Chain A
Amino acid sequence: MARKMLVDGEVAAVADAGQYDYDLFVIGAGSGGVRGSRLAASFGAKVAICELPFHPISSEWLGGHGGTCVIRGCVPKKILVYGASFRGEFEDSKNFGWEINGDINFNWKKLLENKTKEIVRLNGVYQKILTNAGVTLIEGAGSLVDAHTVEVSQPDGSKQRYTAKHILIATGSRAQRVNIPGKELAITSDEALSLEELPKRAVILGGGYIAVEFASIWRGMGAEVDLFYRRELPLRGFDDEMRAVVASNLEGRGIKLHPGTNLSELSKTADGIKVVTDKGEELIADVVLFATGRTPNSQRLNLQAAGVEVDQIGAIKKTVFGGQQVKPDYGDVPCAVFSIPPLSVVGLSEQQALEEANSDILVFTSSFNPMKNSISKRQEKTIMKLVVDAETDRVLGASMCGPDAPEIIQGFAVALKCGATKANFDSTVGIHPSAAEEFVTMRTVTRRVSPTSKPKTNL
């Protein structure tokens, strides 16, 4: 098999074939590591990848092929969001004529079992993807010995070394806990996705997407949920108007919000975990979830042995992708928060647009009662927003909070990335009846904002 590699921007035959065990050694078989291995192998590289044995809850010695996304992130989270969403759907169905006589019961153990079955299946699929691609699978914890040597360790102390021309580090990140008394009583998202029992009362600390998603999940499953965050609104970094809508929706669904509040202490009682806040309030919870951020999983890699720089939180700096022929493009990356209802955005928030703008920006917003709610009588508005450069007419950002927002925003992300203007949007005929068509029918400017009057946001 002819092996070619990109060396200093030029494709070169591997002159030093035999000098290294592998062309590429990947540490970590998550989304990035698997994609990198698979594609490298498809170009003819000899690739090995090491990963820890599978377990839903990660640890020093446990992980699994597929990584965070497949095993303890995107996939199980989405499954739980689906499961939790049914409660709201049952409520909505009544005014559409459905009668549910008797109890509706939610069996958490059954969902957990089916969820686990699916992630086990996907874990197997990922292993097959790698072996089918000709990648060598090695089990164990990888760390660096030097710039071309990886050491794979086992819990029993045994180690094995491998050399490689290139090493790819893709060990992902891990949930972190805040350092307060009683922190060992709290769980992280790993455990939350695999709880033995569904909590009746849940306390969540955090204002990011993970905190918000779990708040929606547990509330949908019938728990009482108290959500604590340090800022005035959750989801810092997102468009302020959208943050406010998300918060209002969470409240509308029965989640109790505690803005500007931190937790100061946890202690165990006969009745559950006693939670004390920095405002002196106390509550009792069955489960306390710390969703207070994730840190890069770089501590045990021995990066300094190879001279790899890390920043203060442990993230690896200055990655260079083979000859710099293909740099990842971080512009206009769309994303979603799977709260119920979800939020999805692409491009700039209003605040970001004002910071970067040279000319005025036009803001178009549409807030409406989705058609389904006209019958279900659920009091929950959908909000959609476009941020437009007044001079170039370019759509700088699009955001939506409402049912199906993530599915809807994807297509708009394609348009936005390619520089679509408001005129492009407006000249596109709507699909009727849908929520998405609102994005192509916003004719009236809600407000025009000049960059000089930048609102300082510290929410």
Chain B
Amino acid sequence: MAAHATLPFSCSSTLQTLTRTLSPRGAHGLRRGFLRLPSLAALPRLARPCRRHVSASAANGASAEGEYDYDLFTIGAGSGGVRASRFASTLHGARVAICEMPFATIASDKLGGLGGTCVLRGCVPKKLLVYGSKYSHEFEESRGFGWTYETDPKHDWNTLIANKNTELQRLVGIYRNILNNAGVTLIEGRGKIVDPRTVSVNGKLYTAKHILVGVGGRPSMPDIPGIEHVIDSDAALDLPSKPEKIAIVGGGYIALEFAGIFNGLKSEVHVFIRQKKVLRGFDEEVRDFVSEQMSLRGITFHTEQSPQAITKSNDGLLSLKTNKETFGGFSHVMFATGRRPNTKNLGLEEVGVEMDKNGAIVVDEYSRTSVDSIWAVGDVTNRVNLTPVALMEGGAFAKTVFGNEPTKPDYRSIPSAVFSQPPIGQVGLTEEQAIEEYGDVDVFVANFRPLKATLSGLPDRVLMKILVSATSNKVVGVHMCGDDAPEIIQGIAIAVKAGLTKQDFDATIGIHPTSAEEFVTMRSATRKIRKKSADQVESKDEVVSKQ
């Protein structure tokens, strides 16, 4: 593998191209001063270029042969850690080692696996289970299209889980190959920081010029009576049998995704949330829409309920006691009540790495911790806990430290999805945030029955929403809840990040027949919010009246 792979565009030309305005009307979504990168000298905290001649690029953070075992030692081979290690090695010529615990579907202090949460206990298995559970809805839909079954299709949980686990094994192998091919040394075991340049794995010490912490997060649960009977998402992805009746405590994306999965596989599903609505932080209309659609599919929501205790009865069934009442008869109780950075017992406190009250490692814009030689990316820093963001952070870190090009991850207009059924895709601001920031906002909403549903006869609907700053006409937020929303929003996200206007959307011809074309054919604003101009009108009147 070449130490310096040739990039199709040099990094600096890529950055220059980014500032090009997109259209004659001008797309000013790019921050001013985007190109003004601080020189290395201007960054007091970055190491000065190494004076000792070591390899072709002495200034890239590489250390003298023999001074350290490695240029980079990464703890945790998840999305962020693998990306950083791979890029540091292949693109920037660094000598890299990475440690990771042996594979298990359920993480623990001793078990994890190459690929990390995303590959083994998050994005991938979750999506596979969503695929598996969606079929029941498709079987129902197919009836309106002329399909009939002698007997209703039945689902075998163990087949799904076994095939899912086989796929995970395959992916672990792929990650091993990726790292090997990148020239990264793999060390199996749990890493612990001993000093700012030393990591210990299974008693063996390794020194490195830089240490990267990419240990991710773990599900967190409140310490309430009976919590030992409760399963988390790790366990839910690997249950020995399908739940007959499950209580899911939580209102976030993990709770909703599992609600959809188990409901699709014909479990009886009850979701308990502390708030009035699910998905706090999401656009209000989307929050209402998704829970209505999920209710229509048979999920029962219990709102404004706080869990207090879980008890197991003699017949093995579980009861959940909330601040309001007690609900019984559950085969399983699952808590999807948040995730915490996995920072215990890593040696962080002892070495002086600062953490916040949630245990997240505090980092600057370049992902550097309070200790000069220690860095952190991904969920362990609790910034934006998404795989593509961890990848971005890992790549930026590698470029900064080993590529001699300080690079900050760009957190603007990050799109994301919830794989509920129906799923959600979104990019940019919610309506509430848009009004807060822009004052005058035009809101375009489409809420319709998709073509497939007019034939299936099912009550499925689609919600699509565009938020426009009335002053600049820039599209500041786009939301969708309905089939294929995550796929649809991806292309839209480029437009939003680049600061395109509603006119740009409207000038684009639709692809017909699709749901996505609705985004380029919304001609009349559903409502026009005027907060800023209303204020201005008021103050003008005031001045007049004072005279």
User: B208 contacts the other chain (Cβ, under 8 Å)?
Assistant: no
Please state if A410 and B135 are interface contacts (CB–CB under 8 Å): no
Please state if B131 and A372 are interface contacts (CB–CB under 8 Å): yes
Please state if A420 and B494 are interface contacts (CB–CB under 8 Å): yes
Known: A86-B147, A419-B23. A406 touches B511 (CB 8 A): yes
Give the distance to chain A from B289, nearest Cβ to Cβ, in Å.
Answer: 19
Please state if B160 and A407 are interface contacts (CB–CB under 8 Å): no
Known: A105-B148, A418-B500. A436 touches B487 (CB 8 A): yes
Please state if A424 and B455 are interface contacts (CB–CB under 8 Å): no
Please state if B18 and A410 are interface contacts (CB–CB under 8 Å): no
Give the distance to chain A from B104, nearest Cβ to Cβ, in Å.
Answer: 20
Cβ contact of A97, chosen from B123, B160, B516, cutoff 8 A: B160
In the bound complex, residues from chain B placing their C-beta under 8 Å from that of A106 are 146-148
The docked-state distance in angstroms from the alpha carbon of A395 to that of B318 is 57
The docked-state distance in angstroms from the alpha carbon of A412 to that of B497 is 12
Please state if B17 and A437 are interface contacts (CB–CB under 8 Å): no
Please state if B135 and A96 are interface contacts (CB–CB under 8 Å): yes
Cβ contact of A421, chosen from B20, B154, B388, cutoff 8 A: B20
Cβ contact of B22, chosen from A336, A418, A440, cutoff 8 A: A418
Looking at A329, A432, A433, the one whose CB has the most chain B CB atoms below 10 A away is A432
Give the distance to chain B from A329, nearest Cβ to Cβ, in Å.
Answer: 7
In the bound complex, residues from chain B placing their C-beta under 8 Å from that of A443 are 8
The docked-state distance in angstroms from the alpha carbon of A420 to that of B170 is 37
User: A427 contacts the other chain (Cβ, under 8 Å)?
Assistant: yes
User: A344 contacts the other chain (Cβ, under 8 Å)?
Assistant: yes
Known: A95-B163, A101-B151. A82 touches B455 (CB 8 A): yes
Give the distance to chain A from B443, nearest Cβ to Cβ, in Å.
Answer: 19
Looking at B150, B416, B455, the one whose CB has the most chain A CB atoms below 10 A away is B455
Please state if B455 and A430 are interface contacts (CB–CB under 8 Å): no
Interface 1/0 per residue, B133-163 and A, CB below 8 Å: 0010010011011111111011111111001
In the bound complex, residues from chain A placing their C-beta under 8 Å from that of B141 are 86
Please state if A444 and B155 are interface contacts (CB–CB under 8 Å): no
User: A313 contacts the other chain (Cβ, under 8 Å)?
Assistant: no
User: A156 contacts the other chain (Cβ, under 8 Å)?
Assistant: no
User: B484 contacts the other chain (Cβ, under 8 Å)?
Assistant: yes
The segment out of B209-217, B220-228, B502-510 that lies at the interface is: B502-510
Give the distance to chain B from A212, nearest Cβ to Cβ, in Å.
Answer: 16
User: B118 contacts the other chain (Cβ, under 8 Å)?
Assistant: yes
Cβ contact of B520, chosen from A115, A410, A435, cutoff 8 A: A410
In the bound complex, residues from chain B placing their C-beta under 8 Å from that of A97 are 132, 155-160, 163
Please state if B146 and A432 are interface contacts (CB–CB under 8 Å): no
The docked-state distance in angstroms from the alpha carbon of A410 to that of B410 is 25
Give the distance to chain A from B498, nearest Cβ to Cβ, in Å.
Answer: 5
Interface 1/0 per residue, B49-92 and A, CB below 8 Å: 00000000000000000000000000000000000000000000
Interface 1/0 per residue, A109-132 and B, CB below 8 Å: 111001100100100000000000
Give the distance to chain B from A147, nearest Cβ to Cβ, in Å.
Answer: 31
Please state if A104 and B491 are interface contacts (CB–CB under 8 Å): no
Known: A424-B22, A431-B486, A436-B490. A409 touches B144 (CB 8 A): no
Please state if B488 and A410 are interface contacts (CB–CB under 8 Å): yes
The docked-state distance in angstroms from the alpha carbon of A430 to that of B494 is 10
The docked-state distance in angstroms from the alpha carbon of A436 to that of B415 is 12
Please state if B142 and A375 are interface contacts (CB–CB under 8 Å): no
Give the nearest-CB partner of B384 in chain A: A429
Please state if A333 and B155 are interface contacts (CB–CB under 8 Å): no
The docked-state distance in angstroms from the alpha carbon of A69 to that of B489 is 26
Q: Which positions 458-516 of chain B face chain A at CB distance < 8 Å?
A: 484, 486-495, 497-498, 500, 504-505, 507-516
The docked-state distance in angstroms from the alpha carbon of A444 to that of B6 is 10
In the bound complex, residues from chain A placing their C-beta under 8 Å from that of B320 are none
Known: A89-B135, A96-B132, A423-B9. A408 touches B415 (CB 8 A): no
The segment out of A71-79, A185-193, A231-239 that lies at the interface is: A71-79
Please state if B497 and A104 are interface contacts (CB–CB under 8 Å): no
Give the distance to chain B from A187, nearest Cβ to Cβ, in Å.
Answer: 20
User: A99 contacts the other chain (Cβ, under 8 Å)?
Assistant: yes
The docked-state distance in angstroms from the alpha carbon of A406 to that of B451 is 15
In the bound complex, residues from chain B placing their C-beta under 8 Å from that of A89 are 135, 138, 142
The docked-state distance in angstroms from the alpha carbon of A101 to that of B155 is 11
Cβ contact of B145, chosen from A82, A96, A414, cutoff 8 A: A82
Please state if B512 and A115 are interface contacts (CB–CB under 8 Å): no
Cβ contact of B388, chosen from A425, A432, A444, cutoff 8 A: A432
Give the nearest-CB partner of B454 in chain A: A118
Give the distance to chain B from A75, nearest Cβ to Cβ, in Å.
Answer: 6
Give the distance to chain A from B230, nearest Cβ to Cβ, in Å.
Answer: 25
In the bound complex, residues from chain A placing their C-beta under 8 Å from that of B118 are 432
The docked-state distance in angstroms from the alpha carbon of A106 to that of B147 is 5
Please state if B497 and A427 are interface contacts (CB–CB under 8 Å): yes
The docked-state distance in angstroms from the alpha carbon of A110 to that of B124 is 38
Please state if A418 and B23 are interface contacts (CB–CB under 8 Å): yes
Give the distance to chain A from B236, nearest Cβ to Cβ, in Å.
Answer: 16
Please state if B124 and A433 are interface contacts (CB–CB under 8 Å): yes
User: A209 contacts the other chain (Cβ, under 8 Å)?
Assistant: no
User: B517 contacts the other chain (Cβ, under 8 Å)?
Assistant: yes
User: A426 contacts the other chain (Cβ, under 8 Å)?
Assistant: yes
Please state if A118 and B410 are interface contacts (CB–CB under 8 Å): no
The docked-state distance in angstroms from the alpha carbon of A105 to that of B142 is 11
User: B387 contacts the other chain (Cβ, under 8 Å)?
Assistant: yes
Known: A78-B451, A432-B387. A424 touches B494 (CB 8 A): yes
In the bound complex, residues from chain B placing their C-beta under 8 Å from that of A418 are 22-23, 27, 495, 498, 500, 504
User: A100 contacts the other chain (Cβ, under 8 Å)?
Assistant: yes
User: B417 contacts the other chain (Cβ, under 8 Å)?
Assistant: yes
Interface 1/0 per residue, B378-391 and A, CB below 8 Å: 00000000111101
Known: A104-B149, A413-B511, A420-B22. A431 touches B489 (CB 8 A): yes
Please state if A105 and B147 are interface contacts (CB–CB under 8 Å): yes
In the bound complex, residues from chain A placing their C-beta under 8 Å from that of B490 are 408, 411-412, 428, 430-431, 434, 436-437, 439-440
In the bound complex, residues from chain B placing their C-beta under 8 Å from that of A335 are 511
Please state if A82 and B487 are interface contacts (CB–CB under 8 Å): no
Known: A97-B160, A98-B154, A433-B124. A424 touches B498 (CB 8 A): yes
Give the distance to chain A from B496, nearest Cβ to Cβ, in Å.
Answer: 9
The docked-state distance in angstroms from the alpha carbon of A410 to that of B519 is 9
Interface 1/0 per residue, B180-218 and A, CB below 8 Å: 000000000000000000000000000000000000000
User: A417 contacts the other chain (Cβ, under 8 Å)?
Assistant: yes
User: B439 contacts the other chain (Cβ, under 8 Å)?
Assistant: no
In the bound complex, residues from chain A placing their C-beta under 8 Å from that of B144 are 114
Give the distance to chain A from B386, nearest Cβ to Cβ, in Å.
Answer: 7
The docked-state distance in angstroms from the alpha carbon of A99 to that of B156 is 7
The docked-state distance in angstroms from the alpha carbon of A440 to that of B413 is 14
The docked-state distance in angstroms from the alpha carbon of A437 to that of B491 is 9
Please state if B510 and A410 are interface contacts (CB–CB under 8 Å): yes
Q: Which positions 364-392 of chain B face chain A at CB distance < 8 Å?
A: 386-389, 391-392
Known: A424-B18, A429-B415. A414 touches B492 (CB 8 A): yes
In the bound complex, residues from chain A placing their C-beta under 8 Å from that of B163 are 95-97, 375
Give the nearest-CB partner of B20 in chain A: A421
Please state if B516 and A410 are interface contacts (CB–CB under 8 Å): yes
Q: What are 29 pairs between A and B in contact, CB < 8 Å?
A: A82-B451, A82-B452, A83-B147, A89-B138, A93-B132, A95-B159, A98-B132, A100-B149, A101-B151, A334-B509, A336-B514, A344-B511, A372-B131, A404-B484, A406-B511, A409-B511, A410-B510, A410-B520, A414-B495, A419-B22, A423-B17, A424-B18, A431-B415, A431-B486, A432-B417, A433-B127, A436-B488, A437-B388, A440-B494
16 further A-B pairs in the complex, CB-CB below 8 A; given A114-B144, A393-B9, A420-B494:
A93-B132, A99-B156, A101-B150, A105-B147, A105-B149, A106-B146, A106-B148, A111-B146, A375-B167, A411-B493, A414-B492, A427-B18, A428-B490, A431-B416, A432-B386, A434-B486
Top 3 nearest A-B pairs by Cβ distance? A411-B491, A102-B150, A436-B490
Binding site for B on A (CB under 8 A): 69, 74-75, 78-79, 82-83, 86, 89, 93, 95-111, 114-115, 118, 121, 329, 332-336, 344, 362, 371-372, 374-375, 393, 404, 406-415, 417-437, 439-440, 443-445
